[in-house]
Amino acid sequence: MRLVLEPRQEPSRSAGLLSPLLAVAATLLLGFVLFSALDKDPWQALQVFFVQPVATEYGVGELLLKAGPLMLCAIGLAIGYRANVWNIGAEGQLTIGGIAAGGLALVFTDSPAPWLLPAMIVAGALGGMAWAAIPAWLRTRFNANEILTSLMLVYVATYLLSFLVHGPWRDPEGFNFPQSKMFAENALLPNIFPGTRLNAGFLVALAAVATGWLFMARSLAGFQMRVAGLAPAAADYAGISTRRTVWLSMLAGGLCAGIAGMNEAAGPLGQLQPTLSPGYGFAAIIVAFVGRLHAVGILLASLLMSLLYLGGEAAQVTLALPAAVTGLFQGTLLFFLLAADVFIHYRVRMIRSTSGFTVPEA
């Protein structure tokens, strides 16, 4: 008896919907085992991790606050991933977006111009797009692999931000801390949910997800990008330009990540610091996959990933577990998802070893 994978005639849509749920269940199971192994009461640990953080109104606000940049980055990445363009540098594009928006805010710390906040959003978007344009250009002009170049540029962006807040942009009255001045009030995203830290950036994120869905599911350009991802030769055949696909993919990712960076700087931080995000740009890769590269899925997956962040923080306080457990769960979730995805294209069949044959050795 052995198990074999047998290709399905058509990809199973129900397996496609079930596999993220299966992955979440498997991750929870693994968490259960892990907590037991660490001599924590697993039920209590799971409760601390997944329930306690959202038990209060403030907690729900935090959940949405963190989900915002995740869904923003993920929807932008998903557009590229659908087209087989692998931008994994959202973290860097987020950072540059934050720098661009923050730089603008710092120039106008004393002038209460009403256009400052919208201008910061535009600056953040342009910053992210500019950073994403580098791998796009290197790919279309020099055929350089965008996976590696976009990732390398994350390090460059991080060092650039570090340089700025340690050097030219450091707050002279900041007791030598590596951080900029606080932004003026009119450069901060307004709160939309009193009693929490949730700000208007979340609405921007929701709008981006909706636009992303409209683009991918309904527009001709989105359709053509899906063709490029599913069958590159068919894209060439139909006259769909590879160059345009790469540029659109990278710019969409950069745009969204740049706005996410602006949201962080002008939202919870209110200034520039050496680290703008706890790895939202990388976690968004997982969000995009767990969300099936689909807008609704990304919306849900970003809430789940946000919960993992909050759970990690809670576990640190309540259970004295390292916060790194968040990264562990995130990675595991993606593993389980990829494993569960096999059921979309294959069914597992058990076959009995064929008896009655003699096997001569030649």
Partner 1 sequence: MIVPAPAHPGVAPRLGLAGITKAYPTVVANDGIDLEVLPGEIHAVLGENGAGKSTLMKIVYGLVKPDAGVIHWNGVPVALTNPARARKLGIGMVFQHFSLFESLTVAQNIALALDPAEARNGLSARIEEVSARYGLPLTPDRPVHSMSVGERQRVEIVRCLLQHPRLLIMDEPTSVLAPQAIETLFATLRQLAGDGCSILYVSHKLDEIRTLCHRATVLREGRVTGTCDPRQESSSSLARMMIGSDLPHPRHRAPHVTGAALLRVQGLSLPSRDPFGTSLHDINLDVHGGEIVGIAGIAGNGQRELLAVLSGERRVAVAATIRLCGMAVGHLDAGARRERGLAFIPEERLGRGAVPDMSLAENALLTAWRRGLVRRGFVDRAAAGRYAASVIDEYHVRAAGPEVDAGSLSGGNLQKFIVGRELRQHPNVLIAAQPTWGVDVGASASIRQTLLDLRDSGVAVLVLSEELDELFEIADRIAVIAQGRLSAAYPASATSAEAMGLLMSRALIAPDATTIPHSSAAGASGA
Partner 2 sequence: MDHVAGLLVLTLAAGTPLVYAALGELIVEKAGVLNLGVEGMMLVGAVAAFIMAARTGNAWLGILAGMAGGAALAAVFAVLTLSLLANQVAAGLALSLFGIGLSAFVGLPYVNVVIDGIRPITIAGISDLPYIGKLLFGHNPLVYLSIAQFAAVHWFLYGTRAGLIVRAVGESPQSAHAIGYPVIRIRYLAVLFGGACAGLAGAYLAVAYTPLWAEGMTAGRGWIALALVVFATWKPWRVVAGAYLFGGLTLAQFQAQASGAAIAPQLLSMLPYLATVIVLALISRDAVMIRQNAPASLGKPYHPEH
What is the binding site for partner 1 (CB under 8 A)? Answer: 6-11, 218-221, 223, 226-227, 230-231, 233-234, 236-241, 354, 356-362
- Shortest reach from residue 143's CB to partner 2, in Å: 4
The interface mask with partner 2, positions 186-205, x = CB under 8 A, is --------------------
Chosen from partner 1, partner 2, none, partner binding at 88 (C-beta under 5 to 8 Å by type): partner 2
Q: Nearest 5°: phi and psi at 7? A: -65, 140
Report the 10 Å Cβ neighbour count for 90.
Answer: 36
Residue 175, contacted partner among partner 1, partner 2, none, CB below 5-8 A by kind: none
Nearest Cα to 212, choosing from 338, 79, 63, 346? 79
Q: How far is CA 206 from CA 30, 39, 155, 219, 220, in A?
A: 31, 40, 28, 19, 22
d(CA 12, CA 26): 20
Look at residue 302 and give the partner it binds from partner 2, partner 1, none, a contact being a CB closer than 5 to 8 Å depending on partner kind: none
What are 356's two structure tokens? 């009655």
Number of residues that bind partner 2 (CB under 8 A): 48
Q: Does 256 bind partner 2 (CB under 8 A)?
A: no
Q: Per-residue contact track with partner 2, 143 to 162, x per CB under 8 A?
A: xxx-xxx-xxx-xx--xx-x
The token pair at 22 is: 């299966």
- DSSP type of residue 186: G
DSSP 8-state assignment for residue 185: G
Site for partner 2 in 283-312 (CB under 8 A): 285-286, 289
Q: Name the packing angle between helices 295-319 and 280-290 (round to 10°).
A: 130
Interface with partner 2, residue 328, by CB under 8 A: yes
Of the pair 142, 175, the CB lying nearest partner 2 is at 142
Residue 7, H or E segment = strand 2-7
Give me the residues that bind partner 2 (CB under 8 A), please. Answer: 4-5, 7, 86, 88, 134, 138, 141-145, 147-149, 151-153, 155-156, 159-160, 162-163, 166-167, 282, 285-286, 289, 322, 324-332, 334-335, 338-339, 341-342, 345-346
